[in-house]
Amino acid sequence: MPPTNVLDPRYYHKVVDCQWACPAHTNVPLYLRLIAQGRYADSYLLNRESNIFPGILGRTCDRPCEPACRRGRVDEKPVAICRLKRVAADLRGDISDRLPRAPDLKNGKRVALVGAGPSSLTVANDLLPLGYDVTIYDKHAKAGGLMRYSIPAFRLPEPVLDEECGYITGMGATMKYETPVTSMRTLLAEGYDAVFVGSGAPKGKELDIPGRNDAPTIHLGIDWLAAVQHRHITAIEPRVLIIGVGNTAMDCCRTARRLGARDATVLARRARKDFKASPWELEDAEEEGVRIVENHAPKRFIVEQGTLTGMEFDQLQWTEDANGRQRSTVTGTVVIPCDAVILAIGQENAVPWIESDLGIAFDARHMPVVDSMTHESTRPGVFFGGDAAWGPANIIWAVAHGHQAAISIHLHCAGRSLTMRPAAGMTLTSAKLGMQAWSYSNDYNPSPRATMQHQELVKRFSDVSVEVELGFTPDQAAREVERCLNCDIQTAFTDSLCIECDACIDICPTSCLTMTAACDTEAELRDHLSAPTLHPEQALFVSGPLPQTKRLMVKDEDVCLHCGLCAERCPTAAWDMQRFDLKLVYAGGFVAAAEAR
């Protein structure tokens, strides 16, 4: 086993589980520490560097960081990373003079962005400060994309959306609202230096079963949500069935309850354990009186004299075959009476406006052929990102795509190779302030995860835009940030200093450390650890041969608490705690480290 190369920023980056899992690689532990210090504006701006929309994402993010959070392996429940982001956003005060600005002198390059959703807005955010002339087309009257027209206001209040989209559009993008792009050929003819397609996956999936077109009260989920958002629809019939159990279904059923549905029932083909919706969304829906029914497959609509009266379903039983594939068998049928149905079974990409003879290739599934690193289509200068690139995902992926596409556009406009992208860098700074004194709070806080306060039900149903989540109280926030283990404060080891006294191994509360004879393979090494491997995907740090016995110091990163006790008990400072800061690359080079640091 060769010694671990900790000079490769990826090693320490992976130790920061949340930051590694975040598509935009937000520096979570640092922003949590800034909250702990009451530096909300600094925390907000640090967030904004990578994820652009802290207030929006602090309410709506799919939070891939949380299942990855180390605290979940140590103590079951991860840190409430997402909702702490909202704390920074809510309490940030006026930060307008600290936002990026577009220079007066432009660089002479013109870029068109199709769609004003999060992916395009991110591209604009990164390119405007570099002097680009950015034009954004959207068929709607306001910016935000699905964040505005699908996500209901009771989850994401309009002022939050307006403010954060406004930070970007206010930098001087030319906004062409209510201007659907109907021909790529025409757009290209306008001579832009680059075009970015961030038009999303705007088409709701259809359910082709008998009766689909026979009654007016059968809706497509995302169209229905948009109509509610536009206040074209303000009421719904008393008995509503929602077909599908993804995130859209959750928003539909909860909106239906607010528009007058007495019974809102969500019907899923699958068993509950295989639902797509996040567990917290299911909980919130059930708290609002939504019934969720599993193992039902729609068969036909029952329409009598133009009026929907019910729907027939096959009842399914799922079994797993030898290959682990789920198979269903029909065990019966059932009719569920209803007055309206909302279809929420998925979305599809639709770019009928891109002509087939422009050199922009599509695959057999009608998806554009897009390079996963550069986001470029098969036509140079035309880029895709967000849901338009690889199908429906979420906001934080759209943002991550936007950053990468902006880098490509910047390279493209400079006539440089898109694949010669600068790599991420890092800095490591000792966290030692003195004898047993650190620049972070290293003590382990055993508090349980904070629970979100919700608006009471009566108030919630009074208007579709009453926000449900009230945010954490200052006390809750202060306690919750202390649950973070500070995974960015790395245990950095210097082999030549170690005298093999065992002190670090003896003190480590979670048995992360081992000194052992050299082994040929990682598997062999794992057999000799102080505590068995529970998560083989978690890295092992392996030192070079130690001075006295030529044994190796090995650390299993899995459940390290970053408590710093190894460094405190080490007589020679062979272990040190060092703050790792990943230097991400954005269009135009390194973004200046936030003033916060």
Partner 1 sequence: MSSIAKPSVRHPSARKNAIGLTKADYEGAMSTLCAGCGHDSVTASLIQAFWELDLPPHKAAKMSGIGCSSKTTAYFMRQSHGFNSVHGRMPSVTTGANAANRDLTYIGISGDGDSLNIGLGQMVHAIRRNVNMLYVIENNGVYGLTKGQFSATADVGSKSKRGEVHEQAPIDPVLLALTLGATFVARSFSGDKAQLVPILKAGLAHRGFALIDVISPCVSFNDHEGSTKSYAYVRGHGVETVATDFVPLRRSITVPAQHDEVTVVQMHDGHRVRLHATAPGYDPADREAAYGYVRSCIGREELATGLLFVDAAGRDMHDLNRTVPSPLAQLPFSSLCPGSAALDAMMARYR
Q: Does 6 engage in binding with ligand FAD (CB under 6 A)?
A: no
User: Nearer Cβ to partner 1, position 422 or 571?
Assistant: 571
Q: Kindly tell me which residue out of 155, 212, 449, 569 binds partner 1, with binding defined by CB under 8 A.
A: 569
Q: Does 115 engage in binding with ligand FAD (CB under 6 A)?
A: yes
Q: Are the C-beta atoms of 127 and 111 separated by less than 8 Å?
A: yes
Dihedrals φ, ψ of 101, to 5°? Answer: -130, 155
Cα-to-chain-centroid distance, residue 185 = 33
Angle at 211 between CA 205 and CA 217, to 5 degrees: 70
Identify the CA nearest to 124 among candidates 179, 178, 165: 165
Q: Are the C-beta atoms of 510 and 586 separated by less than 8 Å?
A: no
Rounded-to-integer distance, Cα 291 and Cα 284, Å: 11
In whole angstroms, how close is the CB of 109 to ligand FAD at the nearest point? Answer: 21
Tell me, residue by residue from 519 to 558, as one string, x for binding to partner 1 by CB under 8 A and - for no binding: ------------xx-x-------------xx---------
Rounded-to-integer distance, Cα 149 and Cα 145, Å: 6
Q: Does 72 engage in binding with partner 1 (CB under 8 A)?
A: no
In whole angstroms, how close is the CB of 444 to ligand FAD at the nearest point? Answer: 31
DSSP strand pairing (585-586 vs 589-590): antiparallel
Rounded-to-integer distance, Cα 279 and Cα 242, Å: 18
User: Nearer Cβ to ligand FAD, position 35 or 151?
Assistant: 151
Where are the strands (E) in 95-150, listed by range? 110-114, 133-137
Pick the stretch among 134-142, 235-243, 318-326, 564-572 that binds partner 1 (CB under 8 A).
564-572
Q: Strand, helix or coil at 319?
A: strand
Tally the C-alpha atoms within 13 A of residue 585's C-alpha that lie toward its C-beta.
16
DSSP 8-state code for residue 154: T
Q: Does 119 engage in binding with ligand FAD (CB under 6 A)?
A: yes
Dihedrals φ, ψ of 562, to 5°? Answer: 55, 35
Q: Does 93 engage in binding with partner 1 (CB under 8 A)?
A: no
* Residues 459-518 close enough to bind ligand SF4 by CB under 6 A: 484-485, 487, 491, 498-504, 507-510, 512-513
Q: Are the C-beta atoms of 19 and 13 separated by less than 8 Å?
A: yes
In whole angstroms, how close is the CB of 251 to ligand FAD at the nearest point? Answer: 4
In whole angstroms, how close is the CB of 32 to ligand SF4 at the nearest point? Answer: 6
Q: Strand, helix or coil at 385?
A: coil
User: Nearer Cβ to partner 1, position 22 or 574?
Assistant: 574
When CB distances are held under 5 to 8 angstroms depending on the partner's kind, the choice from ligand SF4, partner 1, ligand FAD, none that residue 329 binds is none
Residue that is written with structure tokens 């009719």 in the block: 335
- Angle of helix 474-483 versus helix 28-36 axis, rounded to 10: 140
Rounded-to-integer distance, Cα 151 and Cα 149, Å: 6
Q: Does 61 engage in binding with partner 1 (CB under 8 A)?
A: no
Q: How far apart are the first and last CA of the chain?
A: 37
Q: Does 554 engage in binding with ligand SF4 (CB under 6 A)?
A: no
The secondary structure of 241-274 as a DSSP string is: EEE--SHHHHHHHHHHHHTT-SEEEEE-SS-GGG
Q: Kindly tell me which residue out of 28, 34, 36, 252 binds ligand SF4, with binding defined by CB under 6 A.
A: 28
When CB distances are held under 5 to 8 angstroms depending on the partner's kind, the choice from partner 1, ligand SF4, ligand FAD, none that residue 88 binds is none
Q: Does 36 engage in binding with ligand SF4 (CB under 6 A)?
A: no
Q: Kindly tell me which residue out of 26, 199, 349, 374 binds ligand FAD, with binding defined by CB under 6 A.
A: 199
Pick the stretch among 101-109, 193-201, 478-486, 535-543 that binds ligand FAD (CB under 6 A).
193-201
Q: Kindly tell me which residue out of 66, 263, 480, 568 binds partner 1, with binding defined by CB under 8 A.
A: 568
Pick the stretch among 15-23, 109-117, 186-194, 296-304 that binds ligand FAD (CB under 6 A).
109-117
Distances (CA, A) of 258 to 157, 235, 289: 15, 8, 11
* Residues 129-158 close enough to bind ligand SF4 by CB under 6 A: none
User: Nearer Cβ to ligand FAD, position 68 or 559?
Assistant: 68
Sign of CA dihedral 472, 478, 484, 486: positive
DSSP strand pairing (489-493 vs 296-304): unpaired
DSSP strand pairing (296-304 vs 307-320): antiparallel
In whole angstroms, how close is the CB of 570 to ligand FAD at the nearest point? Answer: 43
Pick the stretch among 55-63, 100-108, 163-171, 370-378 that binds ligand FAD (CB under 6 A).
55-63
In whole angstroms, how close is the CB of 77 to ligand SF4 at the nearest point? Answer: 10
Q: Does 15 engage in binding with ligand SF4 (CB under 6 A)?
A: no
In whole angstroms, how close is the CB of 540 to ligand FAD at the nearest point? Answer: 34
In whole angstroms, how close is the CB of 541 to ligand SF4 at the nearest point? Answer: 9
DSSP 8-state code for residue 131: T
For 224, counting Cβ atoms within 10 Å of its Cβ (0-12 exposed, 13-18 middle, 19+ buried), the class is buried
Enumerate the β-bridge partners of residue 580.
428
Q: Are the C-beta atoms of 342 and 241 separated by less than 8 Å?
A: yes
Q: Does 180 engage in binding with ligand FAD (CB under 6 A)?
A: yes
Distances (CA, A) of 393 to 23, 279, 376, 388: 11, 17, 18, 10
Q: Does 13 engage in binding with ligand SF4 (CB under 6 A)?
A: no
Distances (CA, A) of 551 to 6, 53, 220, 399, 536: 19, 48, 65, 46, 22
Pick the stretch among 145-153, 219-227, 430-438, 562-570 that binds ligand SF4 (CB under 6 A).
562-570
Tell me, residue by residue from 426 to 465, as one string, x for binding to partner 1 by CB under 8 A and - for no binding: ---------xxxx---xxx-x-------------------
Binding residue count for ligand FAD, defined by CB under 6 A: 40
When CB distances are held under 5 to 8 angstroms depending on the partner's kind, the choice from ligand FAD, ligand SF4, partner 1, none that residue 455 binds is none
Q: Kindly tell me which residue out of 354, 561, 577, 587 binds partner 1, with binding defined by CB under 8 A.
A: 561
Structure token digits, residue 256 = 């239906």
Rounded-to-integer distance, Cα 172 and Cα 157, Å: 24
In whole angstroms, how close is the CB of 559 to partner 1 at the nearest point? Answer: 6
Binding site for ligand SF4 (CB under 6 A): 16-18, 28-29, 69-71, 78-79, 81, 484-485, 487, 491, 498-504, 507-510, 512-513, 560-566, 569-572, 574-575
Binding site for partner 1 (CB under 8 A): 73-75, 435-438, 442-444, 446, 499-503, 505-507, 509-512, 531-532, 534, 548-549, 559, 561, 563-565, 568-572
Binding site for ligand FAD (CB under 6 A): 60-62, 114-120, 137-140, 145-147, 150-151, 180-181, 198-200, 202, 222, 225, 247-248, 251, 353, 386-388, 392-396, 398
